[in-house]
Structure 1
Amino acid sequence: MKHKLIALMLAGVIALGTAACTSDSGNGGTVTVGITQEPSVFDPHTMVAAGDKEIMFNVFEGLYKFDSNGNLNPCLATAVEISDDSTVYTFDIREGVKFHNGNDMTTDDVVYSLKRAAGLLDGQDGALVTDLDGITDVTADGNKVKVTLDAPNSELLSYFTVAIIPDEVADINATPVGTGPFVFGSYTIGQDVTLLRNDNYWKSGLPYIDKAVFKITADMDAGLIELQNGSIDIYPYLTTDRANQLDPAAFNVLKKGSNMVQIFALNNKVKPLDDQRVREAICYAISRDDIISVTMEGAGEPLTTAMSPAMGSYYDTSLDGTYTRDIEKAKALLAEAGYPNGFDITITVPSNYLVHVNTAVELKSELAAAGINCTINQVDWATWLSDTYTDRNYETTVIALTSNYAPYDVLNRYQTDNSGNFINYSNARVDEILAQIPLETDDAVKTGLYHEILRLMLDDAASCYIQDPANTVAVSTKISGYNLYPMYVQDLSEVKFN
Structure 2
Amino acid sequence: MKRSLYGTALVGILALTACGGGTEAADGSGGDGPQGEFTIAYGSQPPTLDPSATTGTVTRHIGRLMYEQLIAFDSNGEVQPVLAETFELSDDATSLSFELREGVPFHNGETMDAADVVASLERWVELSDVGQQYFSEAQIESPEEGVVTVSLPGGMGVMPELLADPTQSPYIMPAEIAESADPDGATENIGTGPYQYGEWATDQHVRLEVFEDYVSPEGETDGITGERGANFETVTFEFASDASTRLAGIQTHEYDMAMPLPWDNAEIIEEAGDVYIEPGETTFGAVLFNKQQGPMADINMRRAIYAAFEPEPVLQSAFNNEDYYDTATSLSPDVSPWYHEVDHEMADLALTQDLDAAEEYLEEAGYDGETLTFMTTRDNEEHYNQAVVIQQQLGDAGIDVELEVLDWPTVLDNQSNPDVWDLTITGFSWRELPVTTAFLQPSFAGWTDDEDIAAAIDDFRYADTEEEAIEAAEDLQMAYFEYLPVLQTGSYATLAALSEEYEGFMNIPGTGEVYYHVDRVQ
Alignment correspondent of 1:206: 229
Name the structure 2 match of 1:196.
209
| Cα distance in 2 for residues equivalent to 1:24 and 1:102 | 25
Shift of 1:406: 2.4
1:395-421 Cα offsets, whole Å, 9 max, x none, are 11111124653222116x424xx321x
Unmatched tracts of structure 1, length 5 or more: 1-22, 120-124
| Conserved 8 A contact 1:191-1:215 | yes
1:186 to 178, 199, 203: 199
Decide whether the 8 Å contact of 1:88 with 1:147 is kept in 2. yes
Secondary structure in 2 matching 1:314: coil
Report whether the alignment pairs 1:378 with 2:391.
no
- Separation in 1, partners of 2:372, 2:160: 41
Alignment correspondent of 2:278: 254
1:175 aligns with 2:178: no
CA contact (8 A) 1:45 1:129 kept: no
CA distance in 2, matches of 1:401, 1:181: 27
Mark the CA change 1:46 to 1:466 in structure 2 (over 3 Å): closer, same or farther.
Answer: same
Cross-structure match for 1:215: 238
Instruction: Decide which of 152, 155, 162 is 1:152's aligned counterpart.
Output: 155
- When residues 476 and 99 of structure 1 are mapped into structure 2, their CA distance, relative to the original with a 3 A threshold, is same
Mapped to 1, the partners of 2:128 and 2:388 lie a distance apart of 40
Question: Residue 470 of structure 2 aligns to a residue in which SS?
Answer: helix
| RMSD of Structure 2 on Structure 1 (CA) | 2.8
Q: Aligned residue for 1:5? A: none
Change (3 A) 1:484 1:43: closer
Which has the higher mean CA deviation after the structures are superposed, 24-33 or 453-462? 24-33
Show the counterpart of 1:138.
Answer: 141
1:463 match: 486
CA distance in structure 2 between the partners assigned to 1:166 and 1:52 by the alignment: 19
**Residue in 2 that maps onto 1:109:** 116
- Counterpart position of 2:9: none
Match in the other structure for 1:485? 508
Structure 1 Cα separation of the partners of residues 431 and 234 of structure 2 = 27
User: Is 1:302 equivalent to 2:327 in the alignment?
Assistant: yes
Residues 78-477 of structure 1: matches in 2 within 5 Å? 78-118=85-125, 129-130=131-132, 131-161=134-164, 162-169=170-177, 173-203=186-216, 206-246=229-269, 247-255=271-279, 258=282, 260-297=283-320, 298=322, 299-305=324-330, 307-309=331-333, 312-318=336-342, 321-323=348-350, 324-339=352-367, 344-391=371-418, 393-402=420-429, 404-410=431-437, 413-415=439-441, 418-420=442-444, 422-477=445-500
Shift of 1:311: 6.6
Instruction: Assess, with a 3 A threshold, how the Cα gap between structure 1 residues 24 and 453 changes in structure 2: closer, same or farther.
Output: closer
Distance 1:465 1:75 in 2: 34
Q: Count how many residue pairs are aligned between Structure 1 and Structure 2.
A: 464
Task: Tell me if the contact between 2:129 and 2:443 (Cα under 8 Å) persists in the aligned partners.
Answer: no
Q: Against the structure 1 CA distance between its residues 310 and 493, is the aligned structure 2 distance closer, same or farther, given a 3 Å change threshold?
A: farther
Q: 1:26 to 1:96 in 2, by over 3 A?
A: closer
Task: Give the structure 2 partner of residue 3 of structure 1.
Answer: none
Describe the SS at the equivalent of 1:313.
Answer: coil
Shift in alpha-carbon separation, 1:186–1:280, aligned structure 2, 3 A: same
TM-score scaled to structure 1, two decimals? 0.85
How far is the alpha carbon of 1:207 from its aligned partner?
1.9
Residue pair 2:281, 2:512 contacting (<8 A) in 1 also: no
Tell me the alpha carbon deviations over residues 262-304 of structure 1, each in whole angstroms, 9 at most, x when there is no partner.
1112222344322222211211111112211221122222112
Mapped pair 1:50 → 2:57: yes
Seen in structure 2, the aligned counterparts of structure 1 residues 46 and 205 have a Cα distance that, compared at 3 Å, is closer
Distance 1:238 1:71 in 2: 31
Going from structure 1 to structure 2, the CA distance change for 1:384 and 1:377 (only over 3 Å counts) comes to: same
Unaligned runs of 5+ in 2: 1-29, 165-169, 217-226
Instruction: Spell out, residue by residue over 1:130-173, the C-alpha distance to the aligned partner (whole angstroms, 9 max, x if none).
Output: 25323223114243322212332222223434111122547662
Deviations 1:443-472 (A, max 9, x none): 221121122122122122333111122132
Question: How far has the Cα of 1:391 moved from its partner?
Answer: 4.6
Q: Is the 8 A contact 2:280 2:512 kept in 1?
A: no
Contact 2:285 2:426 in 1 (8 A): yes
Q: Are the structure 2 counterparts of residues 390 and 67 from structure 1 closer, same or farther at C-alpha, using a change threshold of 3 Å?
A: farther
Name the structure 1 match of 2:48.
Answer: 41
Q: Using the alignment, how far apart are the partners of 2:390 and 2:469 within structure 1?
A: 35
Q: Deviations over 1:237-265 (max 9, x none)?
A: 3221133331451221112661x331112
Deviation at 1:202, TM superposition (A): 2.1
Q: Quick one: distance in 1 between partners of 2:84 and 2:457?
A: 28
Identify the range of structure 1 (329-338 vs 80-89) with the bigger mean alpha-carbon deviation. 329-338
How much has 1:193 moved relative to structure 2? 0.6
Deviation at 1:352, TM superposition (A): 0.9
